[in-house]
Amino acid sequence: MKIAVCLKQVIKRDSTLRVDDARTWVRDADAEFEMNEPDAYALEEALRLKEQHGGEVIVVSAGPARVQTVLREGLARGADRALHVESDALAQADAFAIAGALAAAIGPEQVDLVLTGLQSDDQGFAQVGVVLAEKLGIAHATIIMEVKVEGGALRVKRELEGGWFQWVGLPLPALLTIQSGINTLRYATLKGIMAAKKKEIRRVDAPAGVAPRQKIVSLYFPEKTKQTRMITGSPADAARELVRVLREDARVF
């Protein structure tokens, strides 16, 4: 089975965010980056499917030169090769532009399966996978918690709201958006990291003349509307005061 996995590079989770001078993006010149969390689970699922059914895993990312770090990480974990749609503009692009760029890289590969994460930690569109499936003309299913390959087709377990699930059958080729927690992640071994240095990262041109679909007019810290009582002081003082208010004011025990 030939599988493409889309990996997005996002700002590290615990980073302190600052808005840039134009007030339309964060200052990311000196930021630290990491692989978008559900994408790591998508990669792991692809590697497991390859172990069971054979084939090839191709990792794909769209963005500036720096995104090669996540591609290298994917190769170190066991992907066979990588495609990089390189463009600085894709760092802040909307989901249609990103899906178009990914389609330009994945389309010619004629893969059996495309895996993406269900959502990115930065823009949080929850769109790129589904739009990519439409652009590639293949069937899709979202928020997937289990994947089985049966007789040349897929059976996947979709997560629904409030603890409900549903099995769905799909023909191949198909695209799945993967939910965090679908499997247990492996980490790169030293051997994997060494092997990754020899693997190919091929550059693909971004489609030209894609008009933006949406524009961030302003980016800001949300206004606080609730009056939270912040308890200050040393840890010991704050702890004593918290226990007092819970007993005497909130009366929760």
Partner 1 sequence: MILVIAEQKDGQVNRASWEAIVAAQQTAEPVVVVVAGQGSAAAAADLAAAQVTEVVAIDGPGLAQYTADGFTAAYAQVVAERQPAHVFIAHTYQTRDFAPKLAARLDRSILTDCTAVKAGTPLTFVRPMFQAKLAADVAIEGPAPHFVTFQIGSFKVDELAKGSAPAPVVAVSAAVDIVRQQPDAPFREARQAVDLTQAERIVSVGRGIKAPENIPLAKELADALQAELAASRPICDAGWLPMERQVGSSGQTVAPKLYLALGISGAIQHVVGMKGARTIVAINKDAEAPIFELADYGIAGDIFEVVPQVIAALKA
Ligand X SMILES: Cc1cc2nc3c(=O)[nH]c(=O)nc-3n(C[C@H](O)[C@H](O)[C@H](O)COP(=O)(O)OP(=O)(O)OC[C@H]3O[C@@H](n4cnc5c(N)ncnc54)[C@H](O)[C@@H]3O)c2cc1C
CA–CA separation, 76 vs 93, rounded Å?
Answer: 27
CA–CA separation, 40 vs 35, rounded Å?
Answer: 7
Residue 104 engages partner 1 in binding (rule: CB under 8 A): no
Q: How many CB atoms lie within 10 A of CB 30?
A: 5
Site string for ligand X, 125-164 (x = CB under 6 A): ------------------x---------------------
Please work out the total of residues on this chain that contact ligand X, with binding judged by CB under 6 A.
Answer: 4
Query: Which is closer to partner 1, CB of 138 or CB of 196?
Result: 138
Site string for partner 1, 204-233 (x = CB under 8 A): -------xxxxxxxxxxxx-xxx-xxxxx-
CB under 5 to 8 A by kind: which of partner 1, ligand X, ligand AMP, none does 63 bind?
Answer: ligand AMP
Residue 3 engages partner 1 in binding (rule: CB under 8 A): no
CB-count exposure of residue 125 (10 Å: 0-12, 13-18, 19+): middle
Q: Beta strands 139-150 and 153-159: pairing type?
A: antiparallel
Task: List Cβ neighbours of 170 (8 Å cut-off, separation of 6 or more).
Answer: 139, 140, 141, 153, 154, 155, 156
Answer for which of 63, 74, 78, 173 binds ligand AMP (CB under 6 A) is 63
CA–CA separation, 17 vs 27, rounded Å?
Answer: 7
Stretch that binds ligand AMP, among 75-83, 125-133, 159-167, 232-240 (CB under 6 A): 125-133
Residue 118 engages ligand X in binding (rule: CB under 6 A): yes
Please work out the total of residues on this chain that contact partner 1, with binding judged by CB under 8 A.
Answer: 80
Beta-bridged to residue 59, according to DSSP, are: 5, 82
Say which DSSP state 221 is in: P
Residues that bind ligand X (CB under 6 A): 13, 118-119, 143
Provide the binding-site residues for ligand AMP, judged by CB under 6 A.
Answer: 6-8, 36, 38-39, 61-63, 90, 95, 98, 102, 116-117, 119-120, 123-129
